[in-house]
Structure 1
Amino acid sequence: MLSVLQNRTYRHLFLAQIIALIGTGLATVALGLLAFDLAGPDAGAVLGTALAIKMIAYVGVAPLASAFSERVPRRAMLVALDLVRASVALLLPFVTEIWQVYVLIFILQSASAGFTPTFQATIPDVLVDETDYTRALSLSRLAYDLESVISPMLAAMLLTLIGFHDLFAGTVIGFLASAGLVLSVALPSPKPTAPRGIYDRTTRGIRIYLATPRLRGLLAINVAVATAGALVIVDTVVFVQSRFGLDQQSTALALTAFGGGSMIAALSLPGVLDRIQDRTVMLAGAGLLALGTLAAAALPSYGWLLPLWFVLGLAYSTAQTPSGRLLRRSSHPEDRPALFAAQFALSHACWLIAYPLAGWVGANLGLPLTAALLAVLAALAVATGLRVWPADDPDVIEHSHTDLPADHPHLVESHGRRRHAHAYVIDDAHAAWPQEP
């Protein structure tokens, strides 16, 4: 898996991702402490609002950012957004009012909504071999899982030496280091084939996404991932400390079990995907998420929760890690930023619904009913994925063009043949998916 790090450009980008993630993790801890410093007992409401602002920024800003990304070199855009994030982190220690936190969080997360999809869309252009790209996806998943463990531990150690305001300095350093690493390499920036209006550029990714059967299946999988993931992220503390009467360390251990399962899956996936189709792997992971979430409705003890959370972590990573492969298969290089932005926005829209659902139902109707409801939603999502994502999903599809003029460049490339076969993606010459004969 580590062989992909021999590619200098990818190695620098991967290091930029890790450093920025750790910086963001430190900011998350510091933000919680800042909220308590400003709001006291109401800190939970402040953090909940900040999380909602984050998701709204992700859903709303990502497509807009992708609309302008094609007009700016990718390296310049990524560096500029890192500098914006560093500037916001630099200001956070000096806020004195809660509304200032909300404004800065919106700016920070809006910059992230532009940065992350553009960064993700760059990797398949750097690693053109699918095997290498698959390994890069697994490394990225590992980086996210390790950050969730390392950042709180690092923050705890640093807090023995410095105040929580100083943790934001680590975030600033992380974003500046990320910008420096991105600046140190040349990045591909595919250009669009024709100028487009702002509406076309803003909605292009979502239109390609919803017109592609395998990506409609991915959207269903996003729903299953969000509903099951929300149970773990939102309700683990309620299971452990309220239902089972245990302490914070037990909560941390449960989340570690979930992260451990995710990391094991990420390590195993490259070999699995060499032998088994993406559709089979991802829908199996989503199905396991639905079953595991249903099992959580009848958890008898903490001793059963730990292995179940480990299994949910396995399923979580299995269902979502290969998504980049689908996005890569389903777009031309110049459309990838828009398509990755669509995935970013749509997947976070699922989380925006799942988070409050898991919290509200859990608080008002109890954990068993919450787990059962989320399991039903996940199962319906899996059933939808099975229906909309055909089992026979080839890259090369024979199709006809009856609506193109004879001198259209696409027909010229095909030697005038209106019926032909090639790797099929949605673009200007292919507005809809071909129907089976």
Structure 2
Amino acid sequence: MFSSLRNRNYRLFFLGQVVSNTGTWMQRIAQDWLVLSLTGSATAVGVTTALQFLPMLLFGLYGGVLVDRLPKRPTLLVTQSAMALTGLALAFLTLTGHVEVWHVYLAAFAVGLATVVDNPARQTFVSEMVGPDQLQNAVSLNSANFQSARLIGPAVAGLMITGVGTGWAFLANGLSFIAPITGLLLMRARELYDVQRAPRGKGQLREGLHYVAGRPDLIWTIVLVGFVSTFGFNFPVYLSAFADDVFHAGAGSYSLFNTVMAVGSLAGALLAARRGTARMRVLVVGAVAFGTLEMVASLAPSLWLFALLMMPIGMFGMTVNVTANSSVQLSTDPAMRGRVMSLYMMVFMGGAPLGAPIAGWITDAYGVRAGLAVGGAIAAGAAVVIGLVLARVGNLRLSVGWNRGHPQVRFVPRQAQEQLAPAA
């Protein structure tokens, strides 16, 4: 489960990200709380979130082009330092009492700009640290790392905001970047895997899009992630409405739902690390299970049953995320990996902001149970259709049989099934 941590360079990277991710979650909570306290407007909080995601939607593909050209470790030193300075600037303005809402808007946009390059650089740098044999395990541990921070960061931020104020949470985030920057500086360059960088040239963005378009395994994986992210991952809309409108239980139950889901997501990431392979059937089955469980949860009659279902939903959602991420990286030419991963992350991260208004409209018009059921149905339906498409592309057929007294459903090569047919 933790085999990639035997690699010294990856171990330094992982430990740095534990600290930094916790600080990042602290800043997210403090940022929203500060905007709300300055303006009293939930719309202003939404604007802040939109400004942080907007650069990825606008410039994400160009970030991938840069990442393919540039050496990853120096690039990450620049982006991590830029995000550290943003946190420290917000801390200074808040602690001195000079902060205004436009400062927070500007900081959110600046972090978004840094993320355009930082995100694909971090994703693709993993393969340079651990190599192809440990990539699935390392990607899974990265996800577990992020989910652990998701559990710890908001709790620490809440204590810090109520105890000493939002400015200190920003300061903690700014200082947290010392850990990943130190880890990057301590890495042994000779132990990194050599990866061919793309030379500077014209048409590289178009070249990356053509590369994906010519690879059905890549394009359909990204399309599936897009459907799941856009229609299935709108949990801020669904969970808050279930807590307030369905169960009438308030903010405490909303926090409970998110915490249980984070625990399930952490378990899903660790199981993916233990599995060690990124198979398309795992991706498709995980997406079908994720969507089906959302439909089941939409019918949950009690708060505790709904909360309990959040754990497997989080687990299968993380299974989809980790399996898609690692399979795309493993099957992509290293010289194209930055551009492909930037497209993947743009679809994955951009899906929720696009799907949230749709989920909100369905919830307002027909109720949150209908909204969650429709989102789950679309995710599961897309997984089934794309699974059949990939099977057809791979010249596979569905095989149903028994193995040691248990039913077994799998895809097998057409020729293999034709040879087995007379014996059956």
TM-score of the superposition, structure 1-length normalised?
0.82
| Other-structure match for 1:222 | 225
Residue pair 1:58, 1:113 contacting (<8 A) in 2 also = yes
Q: Distance in 2 between matches of 1:230 and 1:324?
A: 16
| Other-structure match for 2:29 | 29
Give the 3-state SS of the residue equivalent to 1:149 in structure 2.
helix
Q: Distance in 1 between matches of 2:156 and 2:367?
A: 35
Give the 3-state SS of the residue equivalent to 1:245 in structure 2.
coil
Q: Distance in 2 between matches of 1:181 and 1:67?
A: 25
| Distance change >3 Å, CA 180–CA 52, structure 1 → 2 | same
Cα offset for 1:169? 0.5
After superposition, the C-alpha distances for 1:47-102 in whole angstroms (9 at most, x for unaligned) are 21122222222222221122223443221111111111112112224264333322
Q: Distance in 2 between matches of 1:227 and 1:151?
A: 25
Q: Which amino acid aligns with 2:224?
A: I
Cα offset for 1:122? 1.1
Q: Distance in 2 between matches of 1:173 and 1:289?
A: 37
| Other-structure match for 2:114 | 111
| Other-structure match for 2:14 | 14
Residue pair 2:232, 2:379 contacting (<8 A) in 1 also = no
Q: Which amino acid aligns with 2:291?
A: A
After superposition, the C-alpha distances for 1:269-312 in whole angstroms (9 at most, x for unaligned) are 244455xx611111111001221222233222212201221121
Number of equivalenced pairs = 387
| Other-structure match for 2:195 | 190
Q: Distance in 2 between matches of 1:73 and 1:190?
A: 9
Q: Distance in 2 between matches of 1:181 and 1:254?
A: 34
Q: Distance in 1 between matches of 2:274 and 2:15?
A: 24
| Other-structure match for 2:48 | 50
Alignment of 1:105-254 (within 5 A): 105-130=108-133, 132-159=134-161, 161-185=163-187, 186=189, 190-192=195-197, 194-197=199-202, 200-227=203-230, 229-254=232-257
| Distance change >3 Å, CA 157–CA 12, structure 1 → 2 | same
Give the 3-state SS of the residue equivalent to 1:158 in structure 2.
helix
Q: Which amino acid aligns with 1:269?
A: A
| Distance change >3 Å, CA 38–CA 203, structure 1 → 2 | farther
| Other-structure match for 2:2 | 2
| Distance change >3 Å, CA 30–CA 10, structure 1 → 2 | same
After superposition, the C-alpha distances for 1:313-366 in whole angstroms (9 at most, x for unaligned) are 121011111123322332222221222111111222322212222233323432
Q: Distance in 1 between matches of 2:160 and 2:102?
A: 27
> Aligned to 1:100, which of 100, 103, 115?
103
Residue pair 2:231, 2:359 contacting (<8 A) in 1 also = no
Residue pair 2:87, 2:170 contacting (<8 A) in 1 also = yes
Unaligned runs of 5+ in 1: 395-437
| Distance change >3 Å, CA 45–CA 250, structure 1 → 2 | same
Q: Distance in 1 between matches of 2:247 and 2:376?
A: 21
Give the 3-state SS of the residue equivalent to 1:298 in structure 2.
coil
Residue pair 2:226, 2:347 contacting (<8 A) in 1 also = no
Residue pair 1:293, 1:372 contacting (<8 A) in 2 also = yes
Q: Distance in 2 between matches of 1:122 and 1:51?
A: 27
Alignment of 1:188-337 (within 5 A): 190-192=195-197, 194-197=199-202, 200-227=203-230, 229-274=232-277, 278-337=279-338
Residue pair 1:262, 1:314 contacting (<8 A) in 2 also = yes
> Aligned to 2:71, which of 65, 70, 73?
73
Alignment of 1:362-381 (within 5 A): 362-381=363-382
Alignment of 1:287-436 (within 5 A): 287-390=288-391, 393=394
Residue pair 1:205, 1:341 contacting (<8 A) in 2 also = no
| Other-structure match for 1:400 | none
Q: Which amino acid aligns with 1:2?
A: F
Q: Distance in 1 between matches of 2:69 and 2:139?
A: 27
Residue pair 2:287, 2:320 contacting (<8 A) in 1 also = yes
Cα offset for 1:188? 5.2
Unaligned runs of 5+ in 2: 396-424
Q: Which amino acid aligns with 1:54?
A: Q
Q: Distance in 1 between matches of 2:159 and 2:298?
A: 36
Q: Distance in 2 between matches of 1:193 and 1:39?
A: 46
Q: Which amino acid aligns with 2:313?
A: L
Residue pair 2:67, 2:120 contacting (<8 A) in 1 also = no
Q: Distance in 2 between matches of 1:161 and 1:296?
A: 37
After superposition, the C-alpha distances for 1:174-200 in whole angstroms (9 at most, x for unaligned) are 223322221221255634465421xx2
Q: Distance in 1 between matches of 2:385 and 2:209?
A: 19
Q: Distance in 2 between matches of 1:343 and 1:305?
A: 31
| Distance change >3 Å, CA 209–CA 15, structure 1 → 2 | farther
| Distance change >3 Å, CA 177–CA 267, structure 1 → 2 | closer
Give the 3-state SS of the residue equivalent to 2:177 in structure 1.
helix
Q: Distance in 2 between matches of 1:101 and 1:194?
A: 37
Give the 3-state SS of the residue equivalent to 1:21 in structure 2.
helix
Q: Distance in 2 between matches of 1:354 and 1:127?
A: 35
| Distance change >3 Å, CA 71–CA 216, structure 1 → 2 | closer
Q: Distance in 2 between matches of 1:221 and 1:161?
A: 44
After superposition, the C-alpha distances for 1:366-390 in whole angstroms (9 at most, x for unaligned) are 2122123212321332133214323
| Distance change >3 Å, CA 377–CA 385, structure 1 → 2 | same
Residue pair 2:298, 2:372 contacting (<8 A) in 1 also = yes
Give aligned-pair identity as a percent. Answer: 22
CA RMSD of aligned residues (A): 2.3
Cα offset for 1:117? 0.9
| Distance change >3 Å, CA 54–CA 72, structure 1 → 2 | same
| Distance change >3 Å, CA 242–CA 193, structure 1 → 2 | closer
Q: Distance in 2 between matches of 1:223 and 1:323?
A: 11
